[in-house]
Structure 1
């Protein structure tokens, strides 16, 4: 059996996509929506989650309204499908205004089932919304670009990040990883993770900003590597941050990545921290500002 091999020029999409980048689409995998519904819904954006909940609520009421409409005589004072629908809404929400009521055995049976369904539905949605509200999210700002410039006379790869919340990230730990596309002798494109060791990868707490430094010496995977080489190889440098939110006392995660076109040689980040009278001022308007030293 012949297998299709990747071209040696094949470049895989970035692992940590930015806004507007192509997303990773999984094909040939089983649909686990119903088996893993809770996690799937929890991962949805708010507008999608509320839209799904609203649509499911509407469809549920339409379903029960159709049953009531088939046996409309079983609902007192109901004259049409609209009455059947709003009777379903009242039943599911256990409102009971008093005008419409079930008067037959079949109608009472459907009301009983819908009431149980309503309890389960609202309990599930309440738990889902509460879990999404209480789930910690990291508000960590990364510079749009990374820079390569001297630090103590040695070239360093530099990234700046900052905590956007007015609290601390306790026990913050950062990792820098080079994701490299490697073509085997058989012609397959593989992804290899290579650690880029940081001068310091841990701080007791992160409140202001933090510049990550990776020394580019003989032991660095970036040594002797040009931006053109990185671009041709499809290299991606990934930075991850893990810490504990001081307010929520829960672990948070943040990540970002840089391609060759997002690295500026000879660049220096503009200083954003200064002491003013009796306080420290952080100017986030200069956070992404880079000064370039000519001739680097």
Structure 2
């Protein structure tokens, strides 16, 4: 990804065509990404990403608006409802009963005009219920992974080689089957011609596959001469605004659907000459327990 240096005169001018990138604690984030309000131009994505409170509120408003609109249509027909007194309340409640298919039998259409409006409302009801049911199902059926990533990645010697280590844990009491993990390095670089680039490198993991991910999993990348991190330092990580991106994918055994999780470590979250605190403790010859309270703890060597 090529990065151009824009003149400070135009750097902060707002534009709908600009993608604004914020850097905080060495982490890049595209402003508005994965936020529900960034999808206002795409109604389907908006309804899927809205918080549940907002989703219920919008559905309720649509329901009320439709019934209010049909109530006014009934009022335009004059005295067209049996047992109605011509008030807006009667027209509204008749619309609600028609829209929901309740039909108590007290209020009913009296004229041909009213029957035409009932037909239109019934057709509108079919499409509206189908649409809202589909949206609700899509929201409920979206699988999510509840994976915890250690707050820090550490670099420590292992087998006489500096090794990048971090750990992940499945917070649900189930298994993620055929879990796959990738580590990527992202950093700023300059080409021989002086062009400023944001480059990505894949970091080899000693064990990138886990057939049944249920216990904490420590990911290790050995920093040898073939590693993009070879010869690095804390200063070089910060200067190049380096990031380690961890991506996990697998199959949630409960719902039998693909799940994904991702976490990013900025330069300030990569600590040299430290180690992760051991969280697996031995009770006796046969039993162990995992202390998740110390999951994020690191200690100096």
Query: TM-score, normalised on structure 2?
Result: 0.82
Cα gap change, 1:166/1:30 in structure 2, threshold over 3 Å: closer, same or farther? closer
Mapping 1:139-154, distance limit 5 Å: 139-154=146-161
Cα gap change, 1:31/1:289 in structure 2, threshold over 3 Å: closer, same or farther? closer
* Deviating more after overlay: 158-167 vs 279-288: 279-288
Q: Quick check: 1:261 aligned with 2:260?
A: no
Q: Quick check: 1:137 aligned with 2:108?
A: no
Distance of 2:282 and 2:63 partners within structure 1: 55
One of 9, 18, 23 as aligned partner of 2:32: 23
Q: Is the 8 A contact 2:40 2:46 kept in 1?
A: no
Q: Number of aligned pairs?
A: 283
Per-residue CA distance 1:241-289 (angstroms, 9 max, x = gap) = 0111112221111111011111222222222222435543222111111
Cα gap change, 1:188/1:56 in structure 2, threshold over 3 Å: closer, same or farther? farther
Q: Quick check: 1:219 aligned with 2:220?
A: no
Query: TM-score, normalised on structure 1?
Result: 0.83
Distance of 1:185 and 1:83 partners within structure 2: 78
Q: Is the 8 A contact 1:8 1:187 kept in 2?
A: no
> What RMSD in Å do the two structures reach over aligned CA positions?
3.3
> Paired residue for 2:291?
283
Q: Is the 8 A contact 1:14 1:236 kept in 2?
A: no
Q: Is the 8 A contact 2:21 2:31 kept in 1?
A: no
> Paired residue for 1:117?
124
Q: Quick check: 1:71 aligned with 2:77?
A: yes
Per-residue CA distance 1:202-256 (angstroms, 9 max, x = gap) = 1111111101111112211112222332223222211000111112221111111
Distance of 2:258 and 2:181 partners within structure 1: 13
Mapping 1:1-296, distance limit 5 Å: 5-7=4-6, 12-13=21-22, 22-24=31-33, 33=42, 37=44, 39-76=45-82, 77-182=84-189, 190-276=197-283, 279-293=287-301
Per-residue CA distance 1:102-137 (angstroms, 9 max, x = gap) = 211121111111112112211222222223222211
Q: Which sections of structure 2, spanning at least 5 residues, go unmatched?
A: 12-19
Q: Which sections of structure 1, spanning at least 5 residues, go unmatched?
A: none
